[in-house]
């Protein structure tokens, strides 16, 4: 939140609620789910505001946008950005979403940046396949 103030972004009632919901959510939320939860705290929030706030937070680098392999439709999911990036494993069998962080991922990013001169602002690694359980069953 302080990050936003520093950037001169106005902190409105709606933004406060939305940010808190995103930061406290145990799951990856899409815009509609985020709205539903936010409405419990502030019934007057509108879906357009949700989208506008997500765009704002994304541009400020405070949240990441995910596809999660589009396991259920073409929508996007959001999560608060953490210090080190992690990748998402989406199981085509049971729909489970797992997270995986590794120093090797960080190393790969550094190498890509070094090799190409590209200044990385967002990194998104998503894998689709079968989780341990489903791989066993399908095998």
Q: Which residues bind to a copy of itself, rule: CB under 8 A?
A: 67, 69, 74, 87, 89, 91-92, 98, 100, 102, 104-105, 107-109, 111-112, 115-132, 135
Q: Judged by CB, which is closer to DNA: 31, or 105?
A: 31
Pattern of binders to DNA over 21-50, x per CB under 7 A?
---------xxx-----------xxxxxx-
Nearest approach in angstroms of CB 44 to a copy of itself is 27
- Rounded to whole angstroms, the maximal C-alpha distance in the chain is 55
Nearest approach in angstroms of CB 44 to DNA is 4
Which residues, other chains included, contact 109 with Cβ-Cβ below 8 Å and sequence gap of 6+? 85, 120, 123
CA distance 120 to 117: 9
Nearest CA-CA partner of 128 in 40, 61, 68: 68
Alpha carbons within 13 angstroms on the beta-carbon side of residue 74 total 0
Which residues would be at the binding site for DNA (CB under 7 A)? 5, 9-15, 30-32, 44-49, 51-53, 55, 73-76
């Amino acid at each position: 939140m302080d990050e936003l103030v520093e950037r001169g972004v106005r902190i409105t009632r709606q933004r406060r609620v939305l940010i808190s919901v995103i930061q406290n959510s145990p799951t990856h939320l899409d815009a509609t789910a985020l709205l539903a939860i936010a409405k419990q705290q502030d019934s007057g929030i509108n879906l357009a505001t949700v989208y506008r706030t997500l765009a704002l937070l994304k541009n400020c680098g405070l949240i990441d946008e995910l596809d999660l392999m589009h396991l259920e439709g073409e929508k996007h999911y959001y999560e608060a950005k953490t210090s080190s990036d992690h990748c998402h494993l989406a199981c085509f069998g049971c729909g489970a979403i797992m997270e995986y962080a590794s120093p090797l991922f960080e190393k790969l990013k550094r190498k890509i940046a070094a090799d190409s001169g590209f200044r990385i602002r967002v990194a998104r690694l998503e894998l689709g396949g079968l989780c341990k359980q489903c791989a066993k069953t399908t095998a």
